[in-house]
Amino acid sequence: MRIDNIKDVFFDLDHTLWDFDKNSKITFETIFARKHPEVAIDSFIAHYIPINQACWKLYQYDKITHQQLRYDRLKLSFDAINYEISDAEIEIISQEYIDLLTENNHLFDGAFEILDYLIGKYKLHVITNGFAHVQVKKLTNANLNAYFSTITNSEMAGVKKPNPIIFEYALDLAKAKKETSIMIGDSIEADVLGALDAGIDAIYFNESKQDVDDNIKQISHLLELKNYL
């Protein structure tokens, strides 16, 4: 099971190290308590999580813009719980959400422990599709910067995962080789298949234990990376 030839380990950030759903819920709780206390937060979040994922998938393939993603994920979530709200207020919440999100920096269980373990053995890197200025704040506020030699975001590369160009960009930035690199992420399509199609090995962070092809290397807890690396 162990992979012996690896020198560079590339991580996705959101939903892999940084607990996006937990931090997002806390952020919405803060916003709604102040301005929209009548919103049923659990119902809103139950709709927001899959809607946000669907919007990100469209954004990933350039089918919607950055601004449309920020608006649509809120508008569709409010519509799903039949909560009437103006477009102007959605724009305000959208900006408040971005501003406040990085104040909450819960990581997945075992994140620091596995990074401490890996940093003595490999060069570590990040490849993320997230908005650059937000991702920088997440890494800084969560005390993650010191672990990573390079950070590649989709704005720098000009394309988003799973486009092979972003993986090539990250490899060049890291001065790493495909055959001695591996990608770890929560998205089968963007992280795992994207990396594999680019000629890079990959491990799926399958926290929710979805059924996947037996050929896919996977973990359900970050510390299980010790079985591979």
Q: What is the DSSP letter of 107?
A: B
Q: Would the pLDDT of 1 be above 90?
A: no
Element (H, E) at 158: none
Average pLDDT over residues 111-116: 98
At 26 the pLDDT is 97
At 131 the pLDDT is 82
Mean pLDDT, the chain, whole residue set: 96
Distance CA 126, CA 174 (A): 10
At 207 the pLDDT is 95
Question: What digits encode the pLDDT tens for the residues 5-33?
Answer: 999 999 999 999 999 999 999 999 999 99
Average pLDDT over residues 99-128: 96
Look at the pTM and tell me if it is higher than 0.85: yes
Element (H, E) at 219: strand 218-219
Q: Would the pLDDT of 132 be above 90?
A: no
Distance CA 25, CA 44 (A): 9
SS3 (DSSP) at 15: coil
Average pLDDT over residues 185-190: 96
Cα–Cα distances in Å, from 212 out to 53, 88, 139, 192, 205?
A: 19, 42, 30, 11, 11
Q: Would the pLDDT of 130 be above 90?
A: no
Element (H, E) at 116: helix 111-119
